[in-house]
A = this chain, B = another copy of it.
Amino acid sequence: MTALSPLAPAAFPTMPPLAGVRLASHACGIRYQGRTDLLLVEVDAGTSVAGVYTKSLTCSAPVDWCKTASAKGKGRVLVVNSGNANAFTGALGVASVERTAAKTAELFDCKKTEVYIASTGTIGVPLPDEKITAALADARAKLSADSWADAAAAIMTTDTFPKGSTRTATIDGVTVTINGIAKGAGMIAPDMATMLSFVFTDADLPHDVLQELLKKGTDRSFNAITVDSDTSTSDTLLLFATGKAGNARVTDAKDKRLADFRKKLFEVLLDLAHQVVKDGEGASKFVEITVTGAAGNKAAKTIALAIANSPLVKTAIAGEDANWGRVVMAVGKAGEKADRDRLCIKIGGVEVARNGQVVEGYDETPVTAHMKGQNIVIETDVGIGKGKATVWTCDLTHAYIDINGSYRT
């Protein structure tokens, strides 16, 4: 067992019931003993669904399944197991997903394409799906509107804390609620893969609107975090809208009536993404990296991720070393335009380098004090244009090696 992350929040948030959503957790013994490993969520008929997935070209069978289902945009049931990712399991994996969807659809009297399936855990081991399907009826009997904390715990693998977030928003005067849960950053030992997140709202919004909002929100949250640059074969983010809040249906994602909903949805996504980073393997520091002055926003993000993924930057942060030379190095390797002789770097708000060289009379004292804290802020202006991006990561510590290099000798 891994110790609780020092960056863990004080408590799981109080998540209100959400009209049209019922959850159940169950222990079906796929890999773990003495804990829940199955999450079942039933949503009311008429629920719209949107999805964003891993960009991996070797993605898992459940990801392929959900991509097809969410393109249709409707949902009734979500089935998630932890302990086995059903990834790199070839034809066996595809058959396993098919069977699980068919049995679930039968039990809930819905279409197979209204069933969403996600798996997280060991790669390359056939999933004993019969354990899941055998448990479905028992799990169904436990469905309740109040099980958010249990739901977040059931999908954990080597996460050290359950992750949840909630907000309320108004759409055209009607109050709606957004509840989200998530698990596990990066690829988690041993053999573990996957970031999963499931977000639910009682708002009444069509698939196209949800999909556009989810994609935009993901770019600034889950797609702006990195633990170790490694990409899971199973990353899945689903957004379900039950429509029970009774708001007027809005059919354009850019409609001003969605401004508050958009803001709050993005807050939930970012909160969950930050929690994922804070539970990154071995994380002892939470790091915010902002790049300004790039050729465009995309270039800024590429540079910011090059800094965030640099093992040398990450080890320096772990060592509480204000090593701005490594930030320069990472800017240089990103492959996006940067003016070496106009580069400026701030650490903890203190200017360290300006116009390509260390500031005159540089006093490291306040910067070193900042590096000793848990929240590290690095800002870099690359002196080219107006592009801007912020990403978040954690440091690279001995604990990362311990967790991921299961020393057998």
CB closest residue in chain B, given A94 = B341
A320 neighbours in B (Cβ, 8 Å):
407-409
Asked if residues A358 and B57 are in contact (CB atoms below 8 Å), the reply is: no
A408 neighbours in B (Cβ, 8 Å):
319-321, 368
- Of the residues B54, B89, B228, B326, contact of A312 by C-beta under 8 Å: B228
Assess whether A191 is interfacial by the CB under 8 Å rule.
yes
Distance in Å from the Cβ of A384 to the closest Cβ of chain B? 10
For the complex, give the distance between the alpha carbons of A87 and B54 in Å.
38
Asked if residues A58 and B338 are in contact (CB atoms below 8 Å), the reply is: yes
Assess whether A361 is interfacial by the CB under 8 Å rule.
no
Asked if residues B56 and A401 are in contact (CB atoms below 8 Å), the reply is: no
A397 neighbours in B (Cβ, 8 Å):
401, 405
Residues 358-394 of A at the B interface (beta carbon under 8 Å)? 358, 368, 372
Assess whether A233 is interfacial by the CB under 8 Å rule.
yes
- Of the residues B57, B325, B331, B335, contact of A193 by C-beta under 8 Å: B325
Assess whether A59 is interfacial by the CB under 8 Å rule.
yes
Chain A residues within 8 Å of chain B by Cβ, number: 74
CB closest residue in chain B, given A362 = B124
CB closest residue in chain B, given A340 = B58
| Contact mask for chain A residues 327-340; partner B; CB cutoff 8 A; 1 contact, 0 none | 01111111111101
CB closest residue in chain B, given A406 = B319
A321 neighbours in B (Cβ, 8 Å):
190, 405-406, 408
Chain B CB count within 10 A is highest, among A56, A311, A326, A343, for A311
For the complex, give the distance between the alpha carbons of A191 and B323 in Å.
7
For the complex, give the distance between the alpha carbons of A187 and B90 in Å.
40
- Of the residues B57, B191, B315, B338, contact of A57 by C-beta under 8 Å: B338
Asked if residues A228 and B401 are in contact (CB atoms below 8 Å), the reply is: no
Assess whether A231 is interfacial by the CB under 8 Å rule.
yes
For the complex, give the distance between the alpha carbons of A299 and B89 in Å.
24
- Of the residues B124, B312, B331, B404, contact of A358 by C-beta under 8 Å: B124
Assess whether A355 is interfacial by the CB under 8 Å rule.
yes
For the complex, give the distance between the alpha carbons of A88 and B342 in Å.
10
Q: Which A residues contact B (CB, under 8 angstroms)?
A: 54-59, 87-93, 122-125, 186-187, 190-191, 193, 228-233, 309-312, 315-316, 318-321, 323-326, 328-338, 340-341, 343, 353, 355-358, 368, 372, 396-398, 400-401, 404-409
Q: List 16 A-B contacts (CB under 8 A).
A: A56-B333, A87-B325, A88-B358, A90-B357, A91-B357, A123-B328, A229-B229, A230-B310, A230-B333, A231-B329, A311-B400, A311-B404, A318-B401, A319-B407, A396-B401, A400-B401
Q: Which 10 A-B pairs have the closest CB atoms?
A: A123-B325, A58-B332, A319-B405, A56-B332, A90-B357, A231-B333, A315-B404, A315-B405, A90-B356, A228-B311
